[in-house]
Amino acid sequence: MKRKPNYSLKAQVISNGCCKTLSHYHLSLFKFHQLANDEANLEEIEKCQNYINRYNEELKNYSIEEIEEAERVNYASYKRTKRLNDRIMYLLQFENALFLTLTFTDSVLNSTTEQTRREYVRKFLKSQCKYYVANIDYGKQKGREHYHAVVVPISDMVDGKPYRDKIGSIDFERVWFKSNENDFVNSSKRLAKYVNKLTNHAIKQTTKQNRVIYSKMSYE
């Protein structure tokens, strides 16, 4: 039987630092094993060993249950980032790709549920975009709900008027091509990690499941 996700515990291990500490611990181990047979890097090896010891001590502050949950969260984060990277790489092939920020008016926020607002965003993107990847976020100062999206419009631009008339505001930012192939790949990874970060942030804020909104991709 498939294990039922514990969103409260997920939120706990993200907010209390267990996920971050575990991630640093595994990264230090990985670097240590890469350098282990390189005598020219004894200083770096010693530095990695110190980090391993430090993070190992920090992990003793968490329960086995928390560490196991953090392992699941980190693995899911890795898989989600890879999936996002693959999809955003595909979107960045299009010269009219955009990065959008979609907000809600006070009246919409006060009269609708979070699920309803998610549907507003999904339906709008579906009506205007050939492809899209979107997720929820909350303002740092006031925790105001909004969405970010990487999209490929059906035409050259997204028509924001239908959204502005009934739901809220939209900010547009062009996602430009890079002339260097490596820069292009790195841009995609940065966007994927950013959208993935929003998912973890949403879990921490609401202790609920917050899935990334995907369009269907023609290459799938």
CATH of the domain at 109: 3.30.70
Per-residue pLDDT of the chain (220 residues; tens, 9 = 90+): 667 888 899 999 999 999 999 999 999 999 998 887 776 678 888 899 999 999 999 999 999 999 999 999 999 888 887 887 778 778 877 878 888 999 999 999 999 999 999 999 999 999 999 999 888 888 878 889 999 888 999 988 899 999 999 999 999 887 764 555 666 555 666 666 666 665 665 556 554 556 788 898 654 4
Residue 106 domain-assigned (yes or no): yes
Q: Do residues 93 and 198 share a domain? A: yes
Q: Do residues 63 and 98 share a domain? A: no
Q: Do residues 141 and 204 share a domain? A: yes
Q: Do residues 96 and 36 share a domain? A: no
Q: Do residues 60 and 121 share a domain? A: no
Residue 220 domain-assigned (yes or no): no
Element (H, E) at 152: strand 145-153
Q: Do residues 106 and 45 share a domain? A: no
Residue 74 domain-assigned (yes or no): yes
Q: Do residues 28 and 121 share a domain? A: no
Residue at a domain's end among 20, 53, 78? 78
To the nearest 10 degrees (0 to 180), the angle between helices 181-206 and 7-15 is: 120
Structure-block tokens of residue 122: 């999904």
Q: Burial letters for 102-111: b for 16+ Cβ neighbours within 10 Å, e otherwise?
A: bbbeeebeee
Q: Do residues 205 and 150 share a domain? A: yes
pTM for the whole thing?
A: 0.68
Q: Burial letters for 126-146: b for 16+ Cβ neighbours within 10 Å, e otherwise?
A: eebbbbbbbbbbbeeeeeebb
